[in-house]
Structure 1
Amino acid sequence: MDYKIRKASLEDLDEVAVLFDLYRIFYRQDSDVEKGKAFLKERFLNSESVIFLAIVDDKAVGFVQLYKLFHYTKLQKQWLLSDLFVHPDYRGRRLSGALIERSKKWCEETDACGLMLETEKTNDTGNRLYPRTGFIYDGQHNYYHWWK
């Protein structure tokens, strides 16, 4: 299958918003394309994240979204691989791996020390994918959240 991975821009907002909505539904959130579109538009306008798209036949079928962080022991920038999604009709074609590889290349291009990610324990597909793409499971840390 022919595909390309390219950096998204504001011009891709409508296509990205549809995929982002499907991603949120995967994580048991209610569908809201317009609210997701507003969220993504703000990320684009404020340069707060980087999104790469998987393109097949001139159609966006997957994406990865990265946020800049800083690593306290390496004293360098790193990227949080926050969101990774491939449309169900295009899964099993190695597009997730290609998006991850592009994210790794982005680390090199931006002089970042690496990528980190978090996924649910129930995400069986992701929990098989990430070790295959070079991620190491960190069983030493607990991740906690505080929501207002």
Structure 2
Amino acid sequence: MNYKIKKASLEDLDEAAALFDLYRVFYRQESDVEKGKAFLKERFLNSESDIFLAVVNGKAVGFVQLYKLFHYTKLQKQWLLSDLYVHPDYRGQGLSVALIDRSKQWCAETDACGLMLETEKTNDIGNKLYPRCGFEYDGLHNYYHWWH
């Protein structure tokens, strides 16, 4: 399959928002393209995340969104691989791996020490994909959330 991975810009907002909505629905959220679009637009305008798109025949069919973090032991920038999604019609063709590889390249380009991510224990596809892509499972830490 012929594809390219490109860094998204505000010009790609509509396509990114459509994929972002499908991603959120995958995680059992109500569809709301406009609210997701506003969320992504704010990330673009405030340079709060970086998004890469997988493009096939001129159409965005997958994305990865990265947020900047800082690692306390390595004393370096690190990227949170927050969101990764490929449209179901294009899965199984290496696009997720290509998006992850581009994220790794982004680490090198931005002098970051690496990527971290979390996914649900029930995400069978992701839990097989990430170790294949060189991610190590961290069973030593507990993750907690506090919501306001």
**TM-score surpassing 0.5?**
yes
> In the alignment, what sits opposite 1:41?
41
Number of the residue aligned with 1:131: 131
CA shift at 1:71, angstroms?
0.1
Shift of 1:112: 0.2
Q: What TM-score does the superposition give when structure 1 sets the normalisation length?
A: 1.00
Look up the match of 2:29.
Answer: 29
Letter in 2 for 1:119: T
TM-fit CA distance, 1:89: 0.4
How far 1:45 moved relative to its partner?
Answer: 0.1
How far residue 107 of structure 1 moved from its aligned partner, in angstroms, is 0.1
Computed over aligned residues only, the root mean square deviation of the Cα atoms, in angstroms, reads: 0.2
Which residue in 1 is equivalent to 2:57? 57
Q: Which runs of 5+ in 1 are unaligned?
A: none
| Aligned counterparts of 1:145 and 1:93: Cα–Cα separation in 2 | 34
Amino acid in the other structure paired with 2:28: R
Separation in structure 1 between the aligned mates of residue 119 and residue 81 of structure 2, nearest angstrom = 10
Unaligned segments of structure 2, at least 5 residues: none
Displaced runs of 4 or more, over 3 A: none
Provide the identity percentage.
84
Provide the rounded CA distance (Å) in 2 between the counterparts of 1:31 and 1:93.
26
Q: Hey, what does 1:85 align to over in structure 2?
A: 85
After TM superposition, the score normalised by the length of structure 2 is 1.00
1:129, CA displacement in angstroms?
Answer: 0.1
Match of 1:99 in 2: 99
2:144 aligns to what?
144
| Total equivalences in the alignment | 148
